[in-house]
Structure 1
């Protein structure tokens, strides 16, 4: 097939822009590493000061589009049916997984929405994103080439990479501008990418639980809040101590007042956020009552399911054990009788159905495992 003048100009431009083959291959691996690293790190970033993580992730995604175009353009002839081998099937699987992760991410950014069973579009994107490095390692077992010589120390290669990054950044900004211009659902997002649902509507915001966290409703009469660890005066507090016995008597107060208030955004990693007025027991007041020792550096909050998460002591003092949301008693699905409200943290760190608060010297790193098995051990 003969190419027209414009087609030849496009091919020439691509040839000028494309780095050497081995450099493209290792750039793909590096970009995937950046995407996976920033994607995983973004799960624990809830404060606007960490917005750069999401920006780097987005620009890297557009860079991956360009690099994949270079790669597929080079290997397209090898993927013909009469040339397929088992090794090349793995390569095709890698390309499809990467394109799936990119496609779902871009569709989400432009305001799209898809459900696959209980999973929303963002969860599908994250699942595909985690699958990419797994398939990549499988691919590298058969197609590994030493990075030696992958880059050429020259002005042309530097300019090529500068062009790729520059075009990726422009595409990222253009996508955001297009969302605003077209007023898509993608234009109304937090810096985390989450969309607003149920703000200021009491318990009428989405219900999500981590892994198998789905306990039977807590009997408030039997429930107790244990506060121990590195404290001078451990305590076990019941409904009478906290004024939780009568759902209609919001003015009833025990030894520790549950009338502290916080305005905070609950930002869930599944792709939604909700802004509410929360009321309950200030963790700072609770810590003052039990007097943490000088060695206490962390405060761990544990759920009835075994789920747990820790905050540094000073950050924990600004948190709240909420009993109400927008004036309504928190429902069971949202963590009754108490859930942690941790401003600036993502939703999965807001522990529900809290039963224990413990001051510790070091962070309990077993909680990173416990969050994946909580609920199963009930």
Structure 2
């Protein structure tokens, strides 16, 4: 008996529906979490996201097969049927764009990539599913899950999804597609000679900074607040650091600047300090634990050249093992705190608007 027939015969309709709901929730949660994961220790988040997405595919097939007759018969439609069709289309689009990106498909979408499109339709899937659930809610019954074979079938789905994920990576490598160089985050490698793209989170695009008037203040829980100008930053530290952008690319490049830990030592960090917030001229900001911040770089140069405006002139944060949107550009203030700056969760969505 085929897997398709086995699923169609054995899985109760309500269980299929609730399983899809749970998998969409898991995929959405891991997808959002992945934005903050840049270290290989967090690779399980991305693997879980891939498995959740791939496990949905056979369940979607069973669901579509069950409702196909009602969709084809316009007389059977009710006021929620168009929403259900839209939900199905978005679910297929999310799955298709994810698989296409994994195997290396490249589609010209202007400044976007297929990964950006995958993220967009994935986010859209969540509210559509919640509205659909409200309109067609049916509680799960004990009879739907009491058979042991159901657990075995779901274990099989997870195993099959994991194997499929590994096969997609193998296929990309075998065909030598752009996805052959993917990191665990899904980002693809830039050519060694390629310029690092200029990207900004949300709408950050300030006027060029005037070096004659620019200063970077260091304050908060410090003994000696500082006010640094361009000439006060002697770029003597050079490090090769990997920048992994949530747009779907990564690049290892040489960055030169000042070790943030040296700046903190010069300011005299107090004993009750635990976090360092780095803020941009746009209001955008991000907080790092104190120990991690000490290892970060206030970069003034990229690949031997002075930073240009698009890359954050005069100073940008270089935070190893952090995603690119956390590398704050156009730095104007460093604040030492007891806790992370709560405003970062607002500014991350509205800065530059």
Name the TM-score class by shorter chain: over 0.9
| C-alpha contact (below 8 Å) 1:111/1:186 kept by paired residues | yes
Q: Secondary structure at the match of 1:86?
A: coil
Alignment partner of 2:295: what SS? Answer: coil
Residue pair 1:226, 1:237 contacting (<8 A) in 2 also: yes
Identify the residue that residue 71 of structure 1 maps to in structure 2.
63
Q: Any conservation in 1 of the 2:8–2:62 contact (CA below 8 Å)?
A: no
Residue 96 (structure 2) pairs with residue 111 (structure 1):
no
Aligned Cα RMSD in Å?
Answer: 1.6
1:82-104 deviations in whole A, cap 9, x for unaligned? 22222111111111111111111
Counting only pairs closer than 5 Å after superposition, residues 108-187 of structure 1 correspond to structure 2 as 108-149=101-142, 151-187=144-180
Distance change (3 Å), C-alpha of 1:98 and 1:220: same
Distance (whole Å) between structure 1 residues aligned to residue 5 and residue 339 of structure 2: 59
SS of the counterpart of 1:226?
strand
Structure with max Cα Rg = 1
Instruction: State which of 55, 58, 76 in structure 1 corresponds to 2:50.
Output: 58
Q: TM-score, normalised by structure 1?
A: 0.89
Q: How many angstroms apart in 2 are the aligned matches of 1:323 and 1:231?
A: 24
Pick one of 86, 89, 94 that aligns with 1:96. Answer: 89
- The answer to whether the Cα contact below 8 Å between 1:283 and 1:317 also exists between their aligned partners in 2 is yes
1:118: how far off? 3.3
Report the TM-score when normalising by structure 2: 0.96
* 1:106-158: CA deviation from partner (whole Å, max 9, x where unpaired): 11111112244432211111010001110001101210111333742222111
Other-structure match for 1:247: none
Deviation at 1:326, TM superposition (A): 1.5
Change in 2 beyond 3 A, CA 1:150/1:297: farther
Between stretches 267-276 and 171-180, larger displacement belongs to: 171-180
Q: Where does the alignment leave 5 or more consecutive residues of structure 2 unmatched?
A: none
Matched residue pairs, number? 352
C-alpha distance in structure 1 between counterparts of 2:7 and 2:322, whole Å: 43
198, 205, 211: which one aligns with 1:214: 205
Assess, with a 3 A threshold, how the Cα gap between structure 1 residues 13 and 216 changes in structure 2: closer, same or farther. same
Matched, 1:289 2:266: yes
Q: Which residue of 1 aligns with 2:352?
A: 375
Corresponding residue number in structure 2 for 1:277: 254
* 1:48 matched residue in structure 2: 40
| Residues 17, 63 of structure 2: 8 Å contact kept | yes
Q: Is contact 2:315–2:331 with CA below 8 Å preserved after alignment?
A: yes
Distance in 2 between residues matched to 1:334 and 1:108, nearest whole Å: 26
CA distance in 2, matches of 1:174, 1:268: 25
Question: Who is 2:242 aligned against?
Answer: 265
SS of match in other structure, 2:164: helix
8 Å CA contact 1:298–1:312 kept in 2: the answer is: yes
Q: 1:10 & 1:210 partners in 2: Cα distance?
A: 43
Match of 1:34 among 26, 36, 46: 26
- 1:359 is paired with a residue whose SS is strand
Does structure 2 conserve the Cα–Cα contact (< 8 Å) formed by 1:196 and 1:273? Answer: yes
